[in-house]
Amino acid sequence: MWQWLYKLGSPRWFYELGDRCLPWLWGITVFLLVVGVVWGLAFAPPDYQMGDNYRIIYMHVPSAGLMKGCFYMMAICSAAVLIWKIKMADIVAKAIAPIGAMATLLMLASGSLWGIPTWGTWWIWDARLTSSLLQFFIYMGIIVLRSAFDSQDSAARACAVLTLVGVVNIPIIEYSVEWWNTLHQGASSLGMRDASANPPEIWIPAFFTGFGFIGLFFIGLILRSQNEILLRERRTRWVRDLVAREGTRA
């Protein structure tokens, strides 16, 4: 276990692991997405109340899941950066942040699109919407903070601290927003809950797309991390060799 962790800590090992995984990931992901999307858009029956536009759920819910997952992964990496000073952890954290931000944005966009037919408006100050927006701000904050530093090590540790602070805060934020929302008005979060009462034909494709999204996430993560690794290790032996080999191949 520790051995394995240690290995994962070495950029080179990670890079090569990535190379080995990528083809498989691509395959699985494409399969999942194609099946999910075709099934979802072509074969799944229209929803009794929402008609066809419920199909946005196939991108909306997974991106929502990503929004949360990304942050937890970042938090773990940050802890690793601060406690064990694992450089690789920072590379991963740096790679995740924009993905998480994009996922959040995607969810906001799809959600608002969905809102137009279902709620008659693309934005309401509903608890979940608001906290998603705040989550997006927190992602942006971390990204901006990193871009503000010249020195890499300082940036790594600073972002780690901020991420952990964010982790402590997010439950508080979500709770407070829930509370605030229930104080002001309730019924607006319609559609969120009763959607789970939908027939399986609707939900199974959602699983496909969901896992497809996760696949996409990992692909993006690996590619970004690999770039970052090459950038940071550009002076090391193995990267030089690698570049040389690529050069000859091309």
Partner 1 sequence: MTTEATAGLGSVMVATVRRELLLAMRSPGDVINPLMFFIIAVTLFPLSGGVEDAFLATIAPGVIWVTALLAVMLSLDSLFRADYEDGNLEQLLMSPQPLYFLVLSKVLGHWLMACLPIIILAPVLALMLKLPGAGISALVVSLALGTPILVLIGAIGMALTVGLSRSGLLLAVLILPLYVPVLIFGTGVVDAAINDMAYAGLLALMGAMLALAISLSPLAIVAALRISVN
Partner 2 sequence: MPNTKPGQGMLEAKDLYCERDDRVLFQHLDFNLFAGQAIQLQGSNGSGKTTLLRILCGLNSDYRGEIRWRGQLVEKARTDFRAQVFYLGHNPAINKRLSAAENLRWFCASRGQRAGNITEALAAFSLQGYEDVPCYMMSAGQQRRVSLARMKLVPAALWILDEPFTALDKKGVSELEGMLSDFVRVGGSLLLTTHHPLQMGCAVDVIDLDARIREAVA
Summarize as ranges the residues that interact with ligand HEM (CB under 6 A). 57, 60-61, 64-65, 107-108, 111-112, 114-115, 118-119, 128-129, 132, 191-193, 195-196
CA separation for the pair 250, 55 (Å, rounded): 43
Contacted entry of partner 2, ligand HEM, partner 1, none for residue 192, CB cut-off 5 to 8 Å set by kind: ligand HEM
Stretch that binds partner 2, among 124-132, 148-156, 165-173, 209-217 (CB under 8 A): 148-156
Contacted entry of ligand HEM, partner 1, partner 2, none for residue 235, CB cut-off 5 to 8 Å set by kind: partner 2
Contacted entry of partner 2, partner 1, ligand HEM, none for residue 71, CB cut-off 5 to 8 Å set by kind: none
Q: Is 237 a residue that touches partner 2 (CB under 8 A)?
A: no
Contact 95, 225 (CB under 8 A): yes
Q: What's the DSSP call for residue 199? A: -
The HSE-up count of residue 28 (CA atoms within 13 Å, CB side) is 16
Task: List the Cα angle 117/187/68 in 5-degree steps.
Answer: 75
Polymer length in residues for the chain = 250
Q: What's the DSSP call for residue 235? A: T
Helices 152-184 and 57-84 pack at an angle, to 10 degrees, of 130
CB of 174 to ligand HEM, least distance (A): 9
Quickly list H helices, 120-250: 127-148, 152-184, 200-232, 237-249
Q: Which residues bind partner 1 (CB under 8 A)?
A: 82, 122-125, 130, 133-134, 137-138, 140-141, 144-145, 147-149, 153-154, 157-158, 161-162, 164-166, 168-169, 172-173, 175-177, 179-180, 183-185
Please choose, from the candidates 224, 231, 233, the residue with its C-alpha nearest in 3D space to the C-alpha of residue 94: 224
CB of 105 to ligand HEM, least distance (A): 10
Pick from 3, 23, 150, 247: which binds partner 2 (CB under 8 A)? 150
- What distance lies between CA 27 and its chain's CA centroid? 20
CB of 191 to ligand HEM, least distance (A): 2
Longest dimension (CA), the chain: 66
The residues of the shown chain that bind partner 2, judged by CB under 8 A, are 150-151, 153, 235
